[in-house]
Structure formats: structure tokens, C-alpha cells
Amino acid sequence: MTERINYMKESPEFFKKLTELSMQEKESSIEESIRHLVHIRASQMNGCGFCLDMHVKEAKIHGERELRLYHTTIWRESTLFSPRERAALEWTEILTKMPEHGVSDDIYDRVRSQFSEKELSDLTFSVMAINAWNRINVAFKTVPGSADKAFGLTKAGLS
């Protein structure tokens, strides 16, 4: 795969702002393990190889079990996720593939039962951020693994 455009170079001010949004996630009320699952699931759904590669490696570096990484595509059938994680994954899916008529009250209530209003707001910003990254990296065919050294992802041991 050949990268189409180096958007970081072409639009550095936008890149900086999106990076700032992603860095702010670390200060959010949502635990790191759930943020990793959200980033991985959205990237799978959007077909973003660059982001999926990056977030699997980050999750592994931060101690996520490999089997749970493999199970993110089958989270509904898997017994490896807590109710809170399931709610986060469901919220990620519904916001990533927004239905024509929006988010149903049933889904909202189910997810809201696991998250405070602040947490649900923070989770929504996490979903928004990863979807933005997915879209730009898919559009410009950013090569998976191409930023491993720069982001310290080689320590994941998943070359």
C-alpha cells in the first residue's frame, strides 16, 4: 500500500488539534482499557489498518490480554467483557455506524446504566476522535506500522 497524502505535513494545524483531542482522552473519566477497546472496535468497523495496528499494539503494551483483543469483533458472544465494556462497545458501534433514525432510547438507556453522564459524554468524544482518525487514515492510505518507531510501539513485540 502506498500512502496518498501525508496529511500531517499538508495540514499541520488540523493534525495538531486532532492530536490535542486524542491527548485529552487520557484525562477523561473513561478508563484506559475501555478506551483501547473503543479505538480497536471502531477501527475494525471502519477498515482502518493503520489505527487498528496502532491501538492493538498500544493495548498490548498497556497489559491487555491477547485473547480479548481477538474477541473485540465477537464481543457480543464472548464472555471476556464486563457489562461496562459491553456497553462501551455497543456505544462505539452505534455511533460509528449511525443509524438513519439515530440512537434508540433502548440502546441509550442500556449504555447509560453503565456510565454516568460525564463518563458517557467523555466516551462519546473518544468515539468521535477515533472515527476522525479512521477516516483520514483510510482516505489517505496511511501504512499500518509506519509510525511504530515514532510512537514507541515496537515494544509491543508484535512486528
pTM for the predicted model, two decimal places: 0.94
Residue 1 located in a structural domain:
no
The pLDDT score that the predictor gives to residue 159 is 67
Residue 100 located in a structural domain:
yes
SS3 content of the chain, % helix, strand, coil (to 5): 70, 0, 30
Residue 151 located in a structural domain:
no
Q: Is the pLDDT of residue 142 over 70?
A: yes
For residue 10, the one-letter residue type is: E
Mean pLDDT over residues 17-33, rounded?
A: 95
Residue 5 located in a structural domain:
no
Q: How many domains does the chain have?
A: 1
> pLDDT for 86-126, tens place per residue?
999 999 999 999 999 999 999 999 999 999 999 999 999 99
Residue 159 located in a structural domain:
no
Q: Is the pLDDT of residue 156 over 90?
A: no
Give the span between the Cα atoms of 146 and 142, in whole angstroms. 8
Integer distance in angstroms from the first to the last C-alpha of the chain? Answer: 17
Print the domain residue range for 71: 12-143
CB 123 within 8 A of CB 88: yes
Give me the CATH number covering residue 123.
1.20.1290.10
Under DSSP, is residue 46 helix (H, G, I), strand (E, B) or coil? helix
> pLDDT for 37-87, tens place per residue?
999 999 999 999 999 999 999 999 999 999 999 999 999 999 999 999 999
Residues in the chain: 159
Q: Is the pLDDT of residue 25 over 80?
A: yes
Q: Which is more confident, 146 or 119?
A: 119
Residue 158 located in a structural domain:
no
Residue 3 located in a structural domain:
no
Mean pLDDT over residues 18-39, rounded?
A: 96
User: How does the average pLDDT of the chain come out, rounded?
Assistant: 95
Residue 27 located in a structural domain:
yes
